[in-house]
């Protein structure tokens, strides 16, 4: 019986793909199949994947050149046989109990609604036993149709540590927030994907945000399991950090989010109004210029102190202002590049 399908889509992940796969293969509960779609990697990612496919019969690798993340996920799920879809991302490492924990609410839901899935109860109980799951383990678990895990920053240098402060929110602040619920840490029934008609393939970024928003709107039973832990690799330097936020901004423009959400439009227009006022005050009123610069510095110090209070790490006083300025600049440049692409 194929019950659990783990799916992922990758592109140019040569440096991290082995760590990702090993963290999946070392799970306390293995999926019944692993389906990975490569979007046309130009490094050795695809070759490495084929090595694992040859070694493990339950791994299936598909390549479609030019497939974006949404398209890759849709291809993987379309080719899956499981009732349960577990999503995962390369660039992450998974806690050894991740699959077991993220599927528990779904397995309990099946047990409570067995007739809905056209499965015989005795066969399902045999399946659970074969996976080493005692029914008693499910007694205190909240059942659900969509399960959200939690992700934490994974870093190997100081820059990555401080980037994590800005990129990763506290688990409780991730819950049921579509923009903070990531496909690097979710599981759901395949019928949800079918009813929502998959991930939106016209999205450059944020395809999972849109997918999760649809799940919320359609009132599927959404639960969180904080024991389903994922460790997301952080940018190792300011260049990677900048590129990540620039990409987010380009996606927001191409997908029309900048016009749908007032906060994004205000963020974009407000920045350039501030630049205009700064230039004007520098020419006409130097005291006003100094006053505005002082307010900007105070804001950056406020952020630094806030993170220092939270982390007790004195280096946040240096890193956080730099990261905040980089984030804002990356967004603005990304917005401009996105608008240029949209007009072409």
Q: Identify the bridge partners of residue 8 per DSSP, sorted by sequence position.
A: 36
What average pLDDT score do residues 139-167 get?
Answer: 94
What average pLDDT score do residues 254-260 get?
Answer: 80
| Rounded Cα–Cα distance for residues 75 and 112 (Å) | 30
Instruction: Using a pLDDT cut of 70, give the percent of the chain over it.
Output: 100
Greater confidence, 10 or 310? Answer: 10
Q: Identify the bridge partners of residue 61 per DSSP, sorted by sequence position.
A: 36
CB 338 within 8 A of CB 249: yes
**Which is nearest to 328 in space by CA: 256, 234, 240, 242?**
242
| Rounded Cα–Cα distance for residues 95 and 35 (Å) | 19
Q: What is the pTM of this model?
A: 0.90
CB 276 within 8 A of CB 282: no
8-state DSSP, 72 = H
Alpha helices in 131-261 (DSSP H): 158-167, 171-174, 190-196, 207-217, 238-254, 257-260
8-state DSSP, 114 = G
Q: Is 336 helix (H, G, I), strand (E, B) or coil?
A: helix
Residues 193-215: tens digit of each pLDDT: 999 999 999 888 889 988 998 99
| Rounded Cα–Cα distance for residues 238 and 327 (Å) | 10
Question: With 90 as the cut, is the pLDDT of residue 255 above it?
Answer: no
pLDDT score of 169: 87
**Contacts (Cβ under 8 Å, ≥6 apart) of 91:** 13, 16, 20, 232, 233
Greater confidence, 169 or 104? Answer: 104
φ and ψ at 324, to 5 degrees?
-65, -45
**Contacts (Cβ under 8 Å, ≥6 apart) of 128:** 107, 134, 135
The H or E element that residue 11 is part of is none
Cα end-to-end span (Å), the chain: 50
Question: With 80 as the cut, is the pLDDT of residue 344 above it?
Answer: no
């Amino acid at each position: 019986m194929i019950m659990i399908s783990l799916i992922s889509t990758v592109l140019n992940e040569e440096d991290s793909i082995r760590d990702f796969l090993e963290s999946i293969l070392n799970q306390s509960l293995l999926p019944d199949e692993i389906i990975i779609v490569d979007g046309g990697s130009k490094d050795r990612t695809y070759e490495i994947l084929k090595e694992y496919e040859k070694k493990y019969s339950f791994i299936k690798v598909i390549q479609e050149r030019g497939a974006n993340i949404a398209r890759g996920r849709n291809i993987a799920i379309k080719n899956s046989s499981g009732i349960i879809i577990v999503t995962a991302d390369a660039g992450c490492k998974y806690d050894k109990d991740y699959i077991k924990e993220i599927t528990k609410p779904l397995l309990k839901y099946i047990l409570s609604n067995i007739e809905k899935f056209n499965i015989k109860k005795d066969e399902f109980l045999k399946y659970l036993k074969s996976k080493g799951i005692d029914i008693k383990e499910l007694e205190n678990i909240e059942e659900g149709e969509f399960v959200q895990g939690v992700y934490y920053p994974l870093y190997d240098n100081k820059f990555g540590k401080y980037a994590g402060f800005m990129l990763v929110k506290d688990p409780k602040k991730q819950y049921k927030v579509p923009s903070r619920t990531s496909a690097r840490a979710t599981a759901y029934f395949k019928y949800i994907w079918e009813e929502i008609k998959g991930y939106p393939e016209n999205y450059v970024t944020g395809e999972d945000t849109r997918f999760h928003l649809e799940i919320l709107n359609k009132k599927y039973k959404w639960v969180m399991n904080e024991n389903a832990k994922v460790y997301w690799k952080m940018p190792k330097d300011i260049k990677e950090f900048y590129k990540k936020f620039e990409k987010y901004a380009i996606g927001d423009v191409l997908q029309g989010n900048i016009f749908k959400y007032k906060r994004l439009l205000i963020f974009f227009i407000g920045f350039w109004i501030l630049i205009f006022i700064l230039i004007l005050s520098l020419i006409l009123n130097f005291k006003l210029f100094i006053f505005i610069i002082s307010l900007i510095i105070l804001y950056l110090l406020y952020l630094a102190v806030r993170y220092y209070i939270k982390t007790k790490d004195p280096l946040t006083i240096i890193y956080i202002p730099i990261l905040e300025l980089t984030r804002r600049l990356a967004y603005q440049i990304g917005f401009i590049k996105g608008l240029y692409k949209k007009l072409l």
